[in-house]
Chains A and B, each alone.
Chain A
Amino acid sequence: MKKIVQVINRSVVQPFYRQHAGLFLFLFFLMFGIQPTAQEAFRTHYYLMHLILTSGNFFLLAIIIWLIYTIKILLFLRNCLQKEAYDFIYQLNALPAQSRFLILLRSAILLMAPVTCYGLATIYVAIREQLVLAEIFVLLAIVLLHLFLILNTMQLLNGGKAIQEVKKTSPLFPLPKAFFGFVLRGIFRNQWVTVLIIKLLSFFSLYLFTNIDSPLFENRVLWLIFLTSLIGHSFLIFRNFNFIETELHFFRNMPQAQVTTFFSLFFIYTILLLPEMWALRGVSMVQDQSWEYLWLVLTGPTFLLLLHVLLYSESMKIEEYLKLLFGIWIVFFFLSFSSWHWLLPLICTLFSAAIFFTSYYQYEKKVGLAG
């Protein structure tokens, strides 16, 4: 059984964390990076946990976020099982139900570790504050989420290879049969949970901050949150890039001007950032800083475009890409502090154009030898 657990960890658990490294990085910065000191971060989270334990609404909110995370794991597992490369996992069906459950439990514990850690810390706060009933509720929620994950995974396995069939679905809204339409459909179809999580977090963090009282409002903190939420899109961009370069690879044979492709990518990321643009309206309406709002709105899509075209400069793995983005995040973070931060959209556009027009046709994915 130990060997089976090892194989599942290597083929499912590790790829899950590797693929979602960008999202975790974004969440980490959002949860711990925006407070000035570690003590301040500790106090904020202690207060948040206290709210989860004492307010029904906050408890519900926490459960919803944890549930979204669990669904994200389930969709990842579903995605794996849809690939023929993962057919070996169906061999688990040959084991007795009890052994199967125990194997999946071990994997579930690892996959749910971020939720479990935060939940256990909340339980610790509940014990300190003698909130026994709330403590039981949090514990029950964690156990139920684990069970939800395991039972659903078992159901996916029981369904066998039927999961690999593609069903015809109608899109919610018609998108044009063009490059950007296909890419947007790819994003909303293949990455909708990632989109939902990123949009929920970035929308609410930007909306809440831009609508606070003016004396508390600080432009530099706003830029920090905004740039962090943009960097949080890195995993989505990486997957989107790979979708274009594998499933839409034939597009390179299409007689489409490079400049059209460039503006198509810009358009895709503008559409993707519409929730953030809406959330940022408070900068103009509440904080009365219309110019600042304009720079933020212009920086968003051009920054995401830059993150996308950087991938054309060299065939990169997600780990290499994230390292590069960390450096870019730091540079842009300091640039946003300066009085020249209005140049950011221009810098992003110029660099994006320079990289795209020199690298697009030179890019080649590092793969095995072709026949």
Chain B
Amino acid sequence: MISLNNIQKSFGNYDVLAIEKLVLPLGLYWLRGKNGSGKSTLLNILAGLIPFKGDVVLNENIHIRKHPVAYRKLINHAAAEPVYPAFLPGTDLVEFVTSIKGGSADHVDTVKKGLDIGNYLANPTGSYSSGMLKKLSLLLAFIGNPAWVLLDEPFSTLDQASQKALCILIREKHEQGISFILTSHHDIEPDEINFTQTFILKDQKLTETNPV
């Protein structure tokens, strides 16, 4: 379970988010909204990437500020437009994240197969196409033993086969007990991912809509 309490975020004088209270039980959530509505900002907050006012609590007792290490152990994130040092090979990043987040090489191989990631990981990330970079960021987001995985526009820049493979992977991981929050402008059909709940982010507020 993840609880958001009095979340406020602004950039300069521009208020982006004002969420009083939101409790999300384990599940699959789809966060929708127009460009600039604050979807990525909300995921960045939940991932512990940017500062904000308020509090985020995992499983009722792990606070983002009081327990930064324990919190980050349970939350993984894949950015909409991932950026990595151009000179680093993907394999180095995978090894690095595995050493911190935990997990086994077998688990990494399974996700690699699931996402159809070829042998290019040994090359520097600067040589990757945007789709290859996206797949690397998704692979990194599945490493370890997270309770929640936050995927920001996971389908953009992926080809159709990879999009389908990602849906299957999300379903499989969810069955294993991992919860997901996704932002996406793509229309996702219920047979692809059966979301627990869909939210619309508008005027700094989250509005629940019916399950898809």
Contact = CB atoms under 8 A, between A and B. Distances in A.
B188 interface: no
Interface in A320-344: none
A186 B85 contact: yes
B87 A185 contact: yes
Contacts of B75: 253
A249 B40 CA distance: 14
Given A166-B124, A369-B36, A249 B49 contact: yes
A364 B50 contact: yes
B184 interface: no
A256 B100 contact: yes
Interface stretch (A3-11, A30-38, A240-248): A240-248
Interface in A153-189: 165-169, 177-179, 182, 185-186, 189
B69 A255 contact: yes
B84 A370 contact: no
B74 to A, nearest CB: 8
Contacts, number: 101
A166 B120 CA distance: 13
B48 A361 contact: yes
Contacts of A243: 85
Contact of A250 (B38, B70, B79, B124): B79
A257 B72 CA distance: 10
A258 interface: yes
B99 interface: yes
A255 B100 contact: yes
A254 interface: yes
A252 B86 CA distance: 19
Contact size range, B: 35 or more
Contact of A247 (B14, B51, B83, B97): B83
Contact of A361 (B68, B83, B89, B97): B68
Nearest to B12: A366
Interface in B30-66: 35-41, 44, 47-51, 65
B162 interface: no
Contacts of B35: 371
B39 A257 contact: no
Contacts of B39: 371
B49 A168 contact: no
Given A253-B77, A254-B97, A254-B101, A247 B40 contact: no
A165 B100 CA distance: 31
B88 interface: yes
A370 B44 contact: yes
A255 B70 contact: yes
Nearest to B82: A250
Interface of B: 11, 14, 16, 35-41, 44, 47-51, 65, 68-73, 75-77, 79-80, 82-89, 92, 95-97, 99-101, 123-127, 140
Please provide the 3 A-B residue pairs with the shortest distance between their CB atoms, ordered closest to farther.
Answer: A166-B126, A255-B72, A255-B73
9 contacts: A166-B87, A248-B85, A250-B84, A256-B69, A257-B69, A361-B68, A369-B14, A370-B40, A371-B35
